[in-house]
Amino acid sequence: MEFKHEPIMLQECIEGLHIKPNGIYVDGTIGGAGHSSKIIERLSQEGLLVGIDRDEEALCASKERLKNYENVRYVWGKHEDMKDHLASLNIQKVDGILLDLGVSSYQIDEPSRGFSYTKEARLDMRMDQNQSLDAEYVVNQYPEEKLANVFFEYGEEKLSRKIANKICKMREEKPIETTTELADIIRMVNPKTTVDSLKRVFQALRIEVNGELRDLQKAVRDSIMLLNPGGRLCVITFHSLEDRIIKNTFIEYEGRCTCPKDFPKCVCGYVSYGKILTKKPIIPSIEEQERNPRSKSAKLRIFERNDQERV
């Protein structure tokens, strides 16, 4: 299957990065190079693009799409380890970073990857096909309480305990091996189960399998500290848990004086590493949402690094 993915809020991201032709830019989730193809078009030969992805198929697709460009470096790995990846390339600072935290259309639509409840496939959901933990292990081996916590914390599913209990009963008879088997079990718990409920449970499993939230705050903090003065970090999220982490980390690094308003000068010693450029997140236009329904839940937040750490 061809690796296809329509980049979300493409123009908004490009504008948000405020690209300098000679700058160094990182796409921490390069995917099929949808965003990166537009970033590199704006770079001169002295500029550099670094593309990172844990999905080897995504990296192959991006290499093919950007094959005519020499000023690009590819890294197989996680964006959480961006600092180490850049150090291996002898890069200490960059001018812009993009993190698109969504699952690509290819990953969702390719049945063998097991991300979708609408297509029968083995329960997989690994973005990195070399890792051992997959959705089948989580569903069949996690204790009931741990499984319920995954559904509640990562999917915000109200029926998390009932669904976990039903899974544990069904797996005593035989292992739950496919996406459709799991979807049927969820429907057994509540015959009126909506598509949104199925999405929540599958989302929760995907997040658990890939550790998507575990090191997200670290990734954002490291990204901010890797930016040159005036450099920007753009992050696209697709659910409230991700967005909350991004919002709170941006607030933390923007800094905030806690002194009483009547103090003549600041004495709290707060430190600011930059400023938030999006007090409210940017969302896709109505036209984009209609053209690409998968963009509906997307939110874009942008942070700009200070010239220096300001107190």
Phi–psi pair at 104, nearest 5 degrees: -70, 155
Q: Using CA atoms, how far apart are residues 122 and 185, in angstroms rounded to an integer?
A: 15
Q: Which residues pair with 49 in a beta bridge?
A: 25, 72
Rounded Cα–Cα distance for residues 59 and 78 (Å): 12
DSSP annotation string for 63-118: HHHTTT-SSEEEEES-GGGHHHHHHHTT---EEEEEEE-SPPHHHHH-GGG---SS
Instruction: Report the DSSP pairing between strands 48-53 and 72-76.
Output: parallel
What are the percentages of helix, strand and coil residues in the chain, rounded to 5? 45, 15, 40
**Strand ordering across the sheet containing 72-76:** 72-76, 48-53, 24-27, 94-100, 227-237, 299-310, 272-276
User: What is the three-class DSSP state of 122?
Assistant: strand
Residue 215: the pLDDT is: 86
Average pLDDT, the chain: 91
Is the sign of the CA dihedral 242, 245, 251, 254 positive or negative? negative
Task: Give yes or no for a contact between 86 and 92, defined as CB atoms under 8 angstroms apart.
Answer: yes
Q: Is the pLDDT reported for residue 71 higher than 90? A: yes
pLDDT digits (tens, 9 = 90+) for 235-289: 999 989 999 999 999 999 999 877 888 888 777 778 899 999 999 999 999 999 9
Q: Find the range with the poorest average confidence among 6-10, 171-175, 268-272.
A: 268-272
Query: Please, which pLDDT band fits residue 1 given cuts at 50, 70 and 90?
Result: very low
pTM of the model: 0.85
Q: How confident is the model at residue 127 (pLDDT cuts 50, 70, 90)?
A: confident
In contact, 72 and 40? CB cutoff 8 Å: yes
E strands of the chain, at which residues? 24-27, 48-53, 72-76, 94-100, 227-237, 272-276, 299-310
Query: What pLDDT, in 10s, does the model give residues 177-236?
Result: 999 999 999 999 987 777 888 989 999 999 999 988 988 999 999 999 999 999 999 999
Which domains, from first to last, does the chain contain?
A: 10-101+213-310 (3.40.50.150), 114-210 (1.10.150.170)
Instruction: Give the CA distances from residue 125 to residues 33, 34, 212, 236, 251, in Å, rounded to whole numbers and listed in that order.
Output: 21, 22, 12, 20, 32
